[in-house]
Chains A and B, each alone.
Chain A
Amino acid sequence: MGLLALGTALDWPEAKKRADQVRKWGIEQLLANWRRAKGKERDALLWGDEVEYLVVAVDDKAKKARLSLAQAEILKSLAEDEANWKSGGSNIQIKEHDGEDPPHFHPEFGRFMLEATPGRPWGIDFKDLLKVESNMKWRREIAKTHMAPNEYPITLTTFPRLGTKDDYIQPYYPPSGAALRSQFVPDEIANPHIRFPTLAANIRSRRGRKVELNVPVFKDTNTSQPFHDPTVNYDLHNWPEDDDVRNGAAKEGHVYMDAMAFGMGSCCLQITFQSKNMTEGRKLYDQLSPLGPILLALTAATPIYKGFLVDTDVRWNQIGKAVDDRTREELGEAPLENDRWRIPKSRYASNSTYLSQDPRMRKEYLDPGLIVDEDIKKRLIEGGMDELLATHFAHLFIRDPLVIFSEDLEELDLNKADHFENLQSTNWQHMRFKPPPPEKDDIGWRVEFRSMEIQMTDFENAAFSIFIVLITRAILSFDLNFYIPIQRTTENMETAHARNAVLDQRFYFRKDPFSPRTRRPHLQSSSTSEVSSATSSAVNTPPPSPPLNPVESEYELMTISDIVNGSADGSFPGLIPLVESYLNSVNVDVETRCFLASYLDLIRKRATGTLWTGARWIREFVASHPAYKHDSVVSEEICYDLVKAVEEMSVKEGKDGSVGWELLRGKK
């Protein structure tokens, strides 16, 4: 998360009045920056991964695991180390990581979270790919050394008992604060930087009530029927929002949650790529978009919320709900009177636009119901931007800026991107297209792939990161075409939520990822053996393009195994065989290829079910725990053992039959 100028943050009624100004200035900044950077060329592939951690404190005596709110102290201590290292006075540099810059650590929304990125972005030198996993492990080690002895960086997407009645955080704070007004979590759960409580409070104010997350409970044999979330308090009267549950916010059969922390407190694995130029960036944005739901299902790791097993496997929609600032009018629950339009998706959702001016991009792929701010689009087009890109940004800019610092509204600085980023960085779609930052000449156009769930081990996190990098190289090398109508991707995103979606569900995917031959073989007339300019120009006329088939015939429902490994009849080649064909076309040394083979093998087997997803492993762990009563409840004791097991797994990685072999190795 990009941070963080300090200042006076406006509360919602004030912020709302200034929203138009921020949008206008943001668009002017975008235009200025776009004009400056649209011709940027030949930037190298640089990429980075972001790994997020929960900081969990383990209490062996009480057999409890609690979230530690020590983010600030840990980051401070990490920052001191980094400063030391830069001045040459630290021993942080160890031999194994010779030549690597020490990793960066960043704050996140949850005060129990850390984010770590490599000290320097990765390149495509295959030797770089070998460093990713060890660098991730190094980050974990460094983070650990800055924590209390009983605290661990844990890469679970969510803390299983966040928001329960017990003391699941340390230090303990009671719930029901002024910013979140949650009956389950205190305001102190969020990073205290003014940006975060303001963000949460303004989402709530704009929405007119608390955010509302209802996740279907997993119905086990002893789960009460009907199921009414027993942790919901209907008699609270601290805030007006306490009425929400009395007005039916908590749904039968669901686990109910009411605060941004339940979503934005999730850990993700995000990958950002720098592209050669804007054109390539737009192409990658489009081609990676249909892969988002597939990778979400493959990385599924989120079967527990607020102490209950739930019937979904991934975090995605919960985050969407946790930051959903739409009003009743925008949601379509009330007639449109004050608001400008109905908006079908949360700010955090699957993406809704394609960007590439690619001849293969048919207009049928675009969302006919896309909501766009027409004035903004007009301004962008007047400013010289093409229709597709203008539409994209005019779509992102239908939202209101949520956190506005009054100091920033004094003067428009076209050499900055702060107002643009205000909107851009609070549009949390599963793809993000990032213009070069105006103040840094050496950074190019980038694309961020955001759907993946964090995995419990760094081996898995490295495997998925590198897989995505290799897929981008295969996309560019083979000129692959994964286009499907973007609404199908939206549907796939929903499908990916189902329990065990990776094996049980089928996803819309394009049948033929190859483009027709782009270079024609060269013909000569038999009457002459020398090339005359007349004949060569004559044969250079492109052949008439064949009539296009209906869009519906271009894609079908496929299993993830077919998408990843190829279909049995060979009609779809499979993402892994494509990556392998790519690797067979480049010079890869033996050691690297061996590493890459183990990563690709993990993904191949996740897709077939030979190896379990994290979600399935966690479910099995709970189900087979002696204290589990088959009533969907994940007790403190189970949570404690689960955290211990995950910690052990992050070290032993399922070797020699150790914990987690089912999702890492497939055999004891």
Chain B
Amino acid sequence: MKLILSTSNLMTSGGHSVIRQPTGEKSNVELINSLRSNFLAAQQLLAVETTTTTTPRWTRETEDGLYIPAIDFAEHGLAEERAQYDITVKLFYLPGIPVSRRCAHTREAIDLVLKELHVDSIDLLIVSFPGILFDAEDDSEEEVASDTGSEEPDDFDSMIRTWRVLEDLQEKGMIAQLGVAEFGSERLARFLPHTKVKPSVDQINLKDCCVVPKSLILYAKQEQIQLLTHNDCMDILPIGTTRELLGPGEKGVGILASTPDAENGIQGDVEPQWVVKYTAVVKDRGVVENKGYFALADMGSCVKPHP
């Protein structure tokens, strides 16, 4: 079974996502806090509104999976015409998930965002491959082993294969521009010759953004790739965190069992598949109207049949 976690619009959700300590710590606090607060809000509203005889639930099961919390896509959308917005989507492929699933995952993630915002295309899709860390000091990204330790780091071929999927979507008009994250100049130089559609953006996480390596600045300029900054966490949704959020513990919402075979909730292994972040910014006013996350986790079987 799929679990579809969502935050709703962070901009209007009472500030739980605002990182309060200005230490520049990169963190997945934003995602975790806003998921938690969205779950809580949904439960609280339910408590207020239990007027019908049938017991309403704050989650909703559909053929797509279990929405946590329930989403009524009919209600969303942007306030103004599509042309007024810059819509940026960042897709985090998670460590340890087979590359073969990415085609489906990409479609799945983008479809959710399009449905949420009531649009039929996005302006920029940035993909974040697991296991790449940008290091401003020496401009050589490190490859770190994923948490599970059982998978190989995201190898170059798999990135190229994934990129093909994105190029297809771009060709179909669903995405205007593509971008990568944490690429140093060497990796970019290796990557570009294999692309039909060049990335227009390289998004890097910098503790102190004034120390970007010169080689990267020059190379990006030459290739007309925009260097953007971000503050996202590398390991955005660890497996343990998902169970903590959804399990019966103090910080959880009691949907999942405390362990795969415990009987205090849905049983089975939980395996986060991807996380997607979306922002809709009113272009000529610089106002962030909508920002949120979806995260998808599989329950039970890790091996899913995918075309």
Contacts and interface: CB of A to CB of B under 8 A. Distances in A.
Contacts of A516: 14
Nearest to B136: A590
B227 to A, nearest CB: 4
A25 to B, nearest CB: 35
Interface stretch (A142-150, A233-241, A522-530): A522-530
A584 B20 contact: no
Interface stretch (A188-196, A432-440, A570-578): A570-578
B13 interface: yes
A123 B284 contact: yes
A525 B56 CA distance: 4
Interface string B45-88: 11011001011111011100000011110110000100010101
B22 A580 contact: yes
Given A527-B54, A580-B19, A590 B42 contact: no
A523 B42 contact: yes
B48 A543 contact: yes
Interface string A453-490: 00000000000000000000100111100000000000
Given A587-B88, A594-B209, A597-B209, A477 B227 contact: no
Contacts of B2: none
Given A478-B18, A573-B15, A590-B204, A521 B231 contact: no
Contacts of B45: 520-521, 523, 543
A577 B209 contact: no
Contacts of B61: 529
Contacts of A526: 54-57
A585 B209 CA distance: 16
A66 B171 CA distance: 68
Interface string B1-34: 0000000110111110111111000000000000
Contacts of A586: 279, 281, 286, 288
A193 B38 CA distance: 62
Contacts of B17: 581
Taking each of A124, A513, A523, which has the highest tally of chain B beta carbons within 10 Å of its own beta carbon?
A523
B14 A514 contact: yes
Nearest to A569: B20
B15 A478 contact: yes
A594 B45 CA distance: 42
Contacts of A604: 22
A597 B231 CA distance: 14
A519 interface: yes
Given A473-B286, A543-B49, A584-B231, A566 B14 contact: no
B206 interface: yes
A574 B22 contact: yes
Contacts of B287: 473, 476-477
B285 A514 contact: no
Contacts of B241: none
A247 interface: no
A590 B49 contact: no
A521 B8 contact: yes
A523 B56 contact: yes
A576 B228 CA distance: 20
Interface residues of A, number: 58
Given A519-B9, A539-B49, A543-B45, A524 B20 contact: no
Nearest to B201: A587
Interface string B201-230: 100101011101000010000000011111
B256 interface: no
B41 interface: yes
Interface string B285-297: 1111101000000
Given A45-B284, A526-B57, A590-B209, A521 B69 contact: yes
A514 B34 CA distance: 14
Nearest to A276: B285
B72 A584 contact: no
B52 A518 contact: no
Contacts of B289: 477
Contacts of A578: 18
Interface string A500-540: 00000000000011111111111111110101000010110
B210 A594 contact: yes
A582 B288 contact: yes
A89 interface: no
B279 A124 contact: no
Contact of A565 (B8, B22, B48): B22
B20 A577 contact: yes
Interface string A549-582: 0000000000000000110001001101110111
Contacts of A123: 284
B124 interface: yes
A337 interface: no
Contacts of A576: 22
B228 A597 contact: no
A544 interface: yes
A79 interface: no
Interface string A653-668: 0000000000000000
Contacts of A593: 209, 229
Interface in A574-616: 574, 576-578, 580-582, 584-591, 593-594, 597-598, 604
A83 interface: no
Contacts of A577: 18-22
A536 B74 contact: yes
Contacts of B12: 478-479, 515, 517-519
Contacts of B54: 525-527
Given A44-B285, A587-B228, A574 B20 contact: yes
Contacts of B231: 584
Contacts of A340: none
Contacts of A276: 285
A53 to B, nearest CB: 29
Given A477-B11, A587-B86, A524 B18 contact: no
Contacts of A591: 227
B230 A584 contact: yes
A95 interface: no
A513 B18 CA distance: 11
A189 to B, nearest CB: 42
Nearest to B284: A44
Taking each of B55, B208, B284, which has the highest tally of chain A beta carbons within 10 Å of its own beta carbon?
B284
Nearest to A582: B288
A42 interface: yes
A570 B18 CA distance: 11
B71 A523 contact: no
A396 to B, nearest CB: 28
A124 B284 contact: yes
Given A523-B70, A577-B19, A593-B209, A45 B228 contact: no
Given A513-B15, A543-B49, A577-B21, A45 B56 contact: no
B228 A589 contact: yes
B228 A479 contact: no
A124 B208 CA distance: 23
A377 to B, nearest CB: 32
Contacts of B11: 477-479, 585
A384 to B, nearest CB: 26
11 contacts: A124-B286, A476-B285, A512-B15, A519-B9, A522-B71, A523-B46, A531-B72, A566-B20, A581-B18, A586-B286, A594-B210
Given A473-B288, A517-B12, 4 more contacts: A536-B74, A578-B18, A581-B19, A585-B11
Interface of B: 8-9, 11-15, 17-22, 38, 41-42, 45-46, 48-49, 52, 54-58, 60-62, 69-72, 74-75, 80, 84, 86, 88, 124, 201, 204, 206, 208-210, 212, 217, 226-231, 279, 281, 284-289, 291
The 4 closest A-B pairs by CB, nearest first: A522-B72, A514-B15, A124-B286, A44-B284
